[in-house]
A and B are shown apart, each in its own frame.
Chain A
């Protein structure tokens, strides 16, 4: 596969390490959320057959974490974003 890195352009997916569903960005706050919220966050997945937003890490490249939107039926990549930008847009900060 080829991931079109937002900064570096097309790169072989072999340079990346896959983590999983980009919903992992939405980590609950441990001081307010309890076991049930963390359980749902960490373990349950939509696992769609189709467009899937997922986290990839450019380990053998620039070390950016990316959010890749990819079709799990065809492997077509629809969108690639820097995970930091996505996280900030979703309200994550410190």
Chain B
């Protein structure tokens, strides 16, 4: 069923009786060519591109809970490709380009909205670092520009320009950055995959892997054994748990990241901004809520909830930047489990087990990566070689000393 404005009008006039289920609920078949473990954004995108772009069939996505229930359902919805390092920037720019055509591609309005992102600058050293980054972005085909303090003020006059502890001196801006309605991304990919014959199997938890002679044969699940030619794992947050079924230890720790939304307010923040002197970033949703966040809590956790110090720290950053939000109210906080990798960058790679592939380590950058991650993982699964924008995302980069460490923090995941 194709979605369009005409269809909405036609259905409205006939009592909405014609809308069909967005996806089926199939029973698992005994075996598939491809099993994608994880029905979050990356897993669904992988299945979608595997079917659509790489013309593969007999694909299943196994999800232990509900579709889109991973970090695609609990993030701050930002898209951008303002990365510093060559290992990252081509990939994220590829992702941003996919975002730009996504809705027409999968015929679902995910509200991709490129209202611009600014990274505020407070010191000369920051300006130098952001200049390096902006130039790297442009060399990678992305857009970047440097805003003066006055230009920032024209965009957001209510920021603290006059009484700030760390004065705003300018900003690096990427106009193509923005936000996307996060749940709709999962639903759009799920619908598109389902339409192409992918079996989306909810409430199906992988409990083991059958590996014979160094080759994967299938997965044990809460709904029985399912055979597979290739298994791709995309379960960020739970990567260590799932890959332990294959006896692997990963360069990843699971940490909690809290996110925040305020009550709905009349629009006053158009784009996305990050505070350069505190841990705070914010945008305003199409419903009016301020969506914001800051640092991860900083300790290993699978609890999907955080603690008070980070909430206070984020609020302090917000108030320092925007003293006008004092009377806005925080409505809801929630926590997601982040796959924090050892250099802050992801892994999309084969494993030493034939037919077993891994996609994870997204830290808190996973949402914006969804389309490219799915595409590149599908590429790897279908062709057994990395996509050209993801060649750096290998397991062995730590052994070889080829870390992709955007923040320069070293092998300490909670600092990335």
| Chain A in direct contact with chain B (Cβ < 8 angstroms) | yes
- Which residue numbers of A lie inside 8 Å of B, CB to CB? 1, 13-14, 18-21, 35-36, 39, 42-49, 52, 54, 70, 72-75
Chain B residues lying within 8 Å of A54, measured Cβ to Cβ, are: 299-300
The interface residues of chain A lying within 8 Å CB-to-CB of B250 are 44-45, 47
Chain A residues, CB < 8 A from B302: 49, 72-73
In the bound complex, do residue B398 and residue A47 qualify as a contact, i.e. CB atoms below 8 Å apart? no
CA gap between A45 and B339 in the complex, in Å: 12
Q: Mark B152-192, 1 if CB is under 8 A from A, else 0.
A: 00000000000000000000000000000000000000000
Contacts of A70 in B (CB 8 A): 299
Interface membership of B122, Cβ < 8 A: no
CB-contacts of B277-316 with A (<8 A): 298-303, 307, 309
A45 touching B252, Cβ below 8 Å = yes
Task: Given A45-B253, A73-B302, A74-B303, answer yes or no on A19-B412 (Cβ-Cβ < 8 Å).
Answer: yes
Q: Which partner residue on chain B sits nearest A68 by CB separation?
A: B299
Bound Cα distance A44, B398 (Å): 10
Chain A residues within 8 Å of B414, by CB: 18, 20
A43-B251, A47-B252 known; A75+B301 contact, CB < 8 A: yes
Query: Cβ of A14: which chain B residues have Cβ within 8 Å of it?
Result: 309
Contacts of B412 in A (CB 8 A): 19-20
Interface residues on B, range: 20 to 34
Contact B307 A1 (CB under 8 A): yes
A21-B300, A44-B250 known; 6 other A-B pairs, CB under 8 Å?
A: A13-B299, A13-B307, A19-B412, A47-B250, A52-B300, A72-B300
Whether A47 lies near B240 (C-beta < 8 A) is yes
**Chain B interface (Cβ within 8 Å of chain A)?**
238, 240-241, 249-254, 298-303, 307, 309, 342, 398-399, 411-414
Chain B residues positioned under 8 Å from A13 (CB to CB) = 299, 307, 309
Contacts of A18 in B (CB 8 A): 298-299, 414
Minimum CB distance partner of B299 in chain A: A18
| A44 CA / B303 CA spacing, docked (Å) | 21
Say whether A20 contacts B413, CB under 8 Å.
yes
Q: Is the interface of A mostly helix, strand, loop or mixed?
A: mixed
Contacting A72 at CB < 8 Å: which of B249, B252, B303, B309?
A: B303
Complex Cα distance A43/B300, Å?
A: 15
Nearest-CB distance from A31 to chain B (Å)?
Answer: 20
Query: A44 to B240, alpha carbons, bound, how many Å?
Result: 10
Complex CA–CA separation, A89 to B284 (angstroms): 53
C-alpha spacing A49/B298, complex, angstroms: 16
**B299: chain A residues within 8 A (beta carbon):** 1, 13, 18, 54, 70
- In the complex, the answer to whether A46 meets B240 with C-beta atoms within 8 Å is yes
Chain A positions within 8 Å of B413 at CB level: 20
CB proximity of B336 to chain A, nearest CB, Å:
14
Complex: how many Å from CA A33 to CA B299? 29
**Do B254 and A44 touch across chains, with their CB atoms under 8 A apart?**
no
- In the complex, how many angstroms separate the beta carbon of B415 from the nearest chain A beta carbon? 10
Report how far A72 CA is from B413 CA in the complex, Å: 16
A21 CA to B255 CA, complexed, in Å:
12
Complex Cα distance, B413 from A18, in Å, reads 11
Q: Which of A1, A43, A47, A48 has the most chain B CB within a 10 Å cutoff?
A: A47
Q: Say whether A20 contacts B253, CB under 8 Å.
A: yes
Give me 23 A-to-B residue pairs in the complex whose CB atoms sit less than 8 angstroms apart, sorted by A's number: A1-B299, A1-B307, A13-B309, A14-B309, A18-B298, A18-B299, A20-B412, A20-B413, A21-B300, A35-B399, A39-B398, A43-B251, A43-B411, A45-B249, A45-B251, A45-B253, A46-B240, A47-B240, A47-B250, A70-B299, A72-B254, A72-B300, A75-B303
Q: Which of A39, A45, A49 contacts B399 (CB 8 A)?
A: A39
Residues of chain B with a CB closer than 8 A to A21's CB: 253, 300
A73-B303 in contact given A18-B414, A36-B399, A39-B399 (Cβ < 8 Å): yes
Instruction: Determine how close the nearest CB of chain A comes to the CB of B147; give it in whole angstroms.
Output: 35
Interface-centre pick from B249, B254, B302, B398 (highest chain A CB count, 10 A): B302
Pick the contact of B253 from A35, A42, A47 — CB < 8 Å? A47
Nearest CB in chain A to that of B239: its residue: A47
Among residues of A, the one whose C-beta sits closest to the C-beta of B413 is: A20
| A34 nearest CB across to chain B (Å) | 11
Please name all residues of chain A whose beta carbon is closer than 8 Å to the beta carbon of B240 when the two chains form the complex.
Answer: 45-49
Instruction: Determine the distance from Cα of A73 to Cα of B299 in the docked complex, in whole angstroms.
Output: 12
Report the Cα distance A42→B398, complex, angstroms.
9
A43 near B253 (CB under 8 angstroms)?
no
User: Which residue on chain A has the smallest CB distance to residue B301?
Assistant: A72
Instruction: List 4 A-B pairs, minimum CB-CB distance, nearest first.
Output: A47-B240, A43-B251, A44-B249, A14-B309
Check B254–A49 contact: CB distance below 8 A. yes
Given the interface pairs A20-B412, A20-B413, the reply to whether A47 lies near B399 with Cβ below 8 Å is: no
